[in-house]
Amino acid sequence: MSAYREGFGWNEATERLFKPARISEGHTVADFGCGPGKISVEIGKQVGSDGHVHAIDINAEFLEIARENAVAAGVSDRLTTHLKDGVSLPLSNSSLDRISARNAIMYVDDPLHTLREFHRVLRPGGLAHAIDGDWYMMVAEPIAHDAWRAFVEAASHACRNSDMGRKLYAAFVDAGFQDVDVSIVANADVDGRLLGMVRNMAKYAVESGTIDPAKVERVIAQVEQAHCEGEYLVVSPQFVVTGRKAD
């Protein structure tokens, strides 16, 4: 939890991912799967005193941190937290200008149902915005392709929809959104920014019981050694999709 408190902040890379949401002053916005609320707080700054942010998450401790962050940033008066599981949203029909989800749709049981909920709570002309990864499109050097593929397949049990990124476009269309736009952001990590993610995947892989733990250890050892020797490279593409509710 301390890692969540320290990380997941707003930076230049995050700004690039959220630019397609076109959040402006006066907007009412939901941050679905808000985690520790760093993004919710930044959105609170962007919508100004006339706007409002609904921070939604399944984890009560995350929401407590989100409230703490909002107080520290001076935007607590424009942020409301909601403890929900994502099956239904705690918001009325046509009540939002924007709804955004970063690396959250991949964890819900029924992505299409969740996106239809997004559609329901948006006002006509409002935008839904989702960012999700696709574990099977990740690249990790210098790991051999077959070894990396086996590693990812074993780890994927921890994520209900580990290839959600590629499926977002069709899901938005099926949920009734118009003018659906998709782009892919794939910054290469050569500094170790994604090492924590790879280490977590290793834990998931071992927990699955479907792969020899020694194979997982070899993958991590290779990644760690490459990082020490300056040859490390990991790419984790992020699919960025927006869709408009018809006027």
Query: What is the chain's pLDDT, residue by residue, as a tens digit (247 residues)?
Result: 555 555 556 688 889 999 999 999 999 999 999 999 999 999 999 999 999 999 999 999 999 999 999 999 999 999 999 998 767 899 999 999 999 999 999 999 999 999 999 999 999 999 999 999 999 999 999 999 999 999 999 999 998 999 999 999 999 999 999 999 999 999 899 999 899 999 999 999 999 999 999 999 999 999 999 999 999 999 999 999 999 999 9
Distances (CA, A) of 28 to 25, 31, 52, 65, 97: 9, 10, 5, 21, 5
Predicted local distance difference test score (pLDDT) of residue 2: 55
The radius of gyration of the chain from alpha carbons, rounded to an integer in Å, stands at 19
Predicted local distance difference test score (pLDDT) of residue 182: 97
How many Å separate Cα 228 from the centre of its chain?
Answer: 28
Predicted local distance difference test score (pLDDT) of residue 224: 96
Predicted TM-score (pTM) above 0.85: yes
Residue holding tokens 């029909």?
93
Do residues 198 and 220 make contact, with C-beta atoms less than 8 angstroms apart? yes
- Our CA angle for 78, 172, 87, nearest 5°, is 60
Name which of 126, 140, 132, 154 is nearest 239 in CA terms: 132
